[in-house]
Amino acid sequence: MNLTRRHVVGSGIAAAALSTMPVRAQSGPVRIAFIDPLSGFMAPVGDGGLKQFQFEAERINAAGGVAGGRKLEIIGLDNKLNPQESIVQLEKAIDQGVRYIAQGNGSSVASALVDAIEKHNARNPRQTVMYLNYAAVDPIFTNDKCSFWHFRFDADADMKLSAMTDYIKGLTDIKKIYIIGQDYSFGKAVADSSVKMLKEKRPDIEIVGNELHPLARVRDFSPYITKMRASGAQAVITGNWGNDMQLLIKASSDAGFNVPYFTFYGGGLGAVGGMGRSAVGLVRQVTEWHSNIPDIGMDDTVRAFKAKHRDLDYYYYRVKVMFDMLAKTMNDTKSVDVREVAMALEGLEMKIETGMASMRKDNHQLIQPLYISTLAENVKFDVDNTGLGFKTDIKIEGAATAMPTTCRMRRPAS
């Protein structure tokens, strides 16, 4: 009897708890689940991203929060860089009532998340989820595989390569280019697009090598450098990141093979630390921002972040843009409802420190200025505490980076 009564009382409490949940969800913090690797080989990258997400959320909260004073809260969920694990974490987040999901590392993970969120939203039109992509740059997510619920705040691989090849177009001395990348979907996409774009823009350039090496397995790149030199290459294009980036440059400068490197992630976490002084003047990167763009009002932010995280640098400017845009739409609509926010976010134009940012309505790709910069000494802000940092070569205005899209977006009926 006792047992039954306790049971009844217990379920009553549970019911009461359940009935208060929606109330809490309407007035409590707006939660964003950050699903990225927080353990294992790529943990430093995921961890650095999470710290910056928290930094931006605190900034927005200190400025008064969103949609009438509500706070933003970041929940870090470890996906171990694994698509299946990411889906598990996504479901966990949705069960907890989280409606905003952020991810960036690995287009393989992004692909699984796009599918899962599309399916979830079709089945649960009253509990839709938004996907904030801050770094997965496979062009497919804003083309054939585009989704209304997915918004990408980083320039995709083709946009970055287009900027890079435009720059190479002007370097008439370069006649022979070597392409080297990691042996997986991203490395292959970079290689294919580089070949195509160079053929259009500089048909006189000969591609003297197109090499894929195993991902995160090569310790000594000297054999590759020997091969590159033998090919007569005058410049190298690479999408490498992490260890593969720094070891490549290190081997190159050790051998005295001093040619310009056009990279995506030459300034990524730990890369400059590993490459060291040898990379000065040679390593170029294409990014939406770097810390040595003078007089745009970012210096205090960079310093504040450094004061908080000694071993990290303020790297993801696009995450700041993402939070600013998100806060603006939530404040303008006075709502945190995913559908309303998504409707307001697409087509949104906003002034940012580097110029103008706009979220394309047709494929949900953010258009923002891009910079090509070179590693240099004597800079105001360094990277990885090395005393080295990046200096701008050229700035490409946002409009010039836009690419045609094959996206046919299916919008929810309004």
Partner 1 sequence: METIVFSTLNGLLYGLLLFMLASGLTLIFSMMGVLNFAHASFYMLGAYLAYTVGAVTGFWIAIVVAPLLVGLFGAAVERFGLRHVHRNGHVAELLFTFGLAYLIEEIVKLVWGKNPLPYTPPAVLQQPLFTLWNTHYPALRIFMMAVAVGMFVVLWLLLKRTRVGLIVQASLTHPHMVGHLGHNVPLVFMGVFAVGSAMAGLAGVVGGALLVTDPAMALTLGPIVFVVVVVGGMGSLGGAFVASLLIGLIQTFAVAVDASLSDFLARIGIAVSNRSDLGRITLAQIAPMLPFLILVLVLIFRPRGLMGAREG
Judged by CB under 8 A, the residue of 71, 386, 400, 403 near partner 1 is 386
| Cα(113)–Cα(84) distance, integer angstroms | 9
270 counts as binding partner 1 under rule CB under 8 A: yes
- Min. distance of Cβ 353 from partner 1 in angstroms? 27
| 349 membership: H or E segment, kind and range | strand 349-352
What are the helix and strand counts (H, E) for the chain?
Answer: 13, 15
Judged by CB under 8 A, the residue of 269, 286, 345, 357 near partner 1 is 269
Residue 294 vs residues 188, 347, 353, 391, 393: alpha-carbon distances, Å: 35, 29, 11, 10, 13
Which two structure tokens, joined as six digits, stand for 95? Answer: 């069960």
274 counts as binding partner 1 under rule CB under 8 A: yes
217 counts as binding partner 1 under rule CB under 8 A: yes
- Min. distance of Cβ 224 from partner 1 in angstroms? 6
For residue 337, the tally of other CB atoms under 10 A from its CB is 14
Q: Which of residues 175-214 bind partner 1 (CB under 8 A)?
A: 183, 211-214
Sequence-ordered strand ranges (E) for 13-86? 30-36, 72-78
Residue 91 vs residues 121, 345, 399: alpha-carbon distances, Å: 12, 24, 37
- Name the residue nearer to partner 1 (CB basis): 29 or 209: 209
- Name the residue nearer to partner 1 (CB basis): 311 or 393: 311
Judged by CB under 8 A, the residue of 207, 276, 353, 360 near partner 1 is 276
383 counts as binding partner 1 under rule CB under 8 A: no
Are the C-beta atoms of 94 and 88 separated by less than 8 Å?
A: no
| Cα(401)–Cα(152) distance, integer angstroms | 14
Judged by CB under 8 A, the residue of 7, 20, 144, 254 near partner 1 is 254
| Cα(58)–Cα(55) distance, integer angstroms | 5
Binding mask 32-71 for partner 1 (x = CB under 8 A): ---------x-xx--x------------------------
- Min. distance of Cβ 222 from partner 1 in angstroms? 5
Contacting positions for partner 1 (CB under 8 A): 41, 43-44, 47, 183, 211-214, 216-220, 222-224, 226-227, 229-230, 243, 246-247, 250, 254-257, 269-270, 273-274, 276, 311, 384, 386
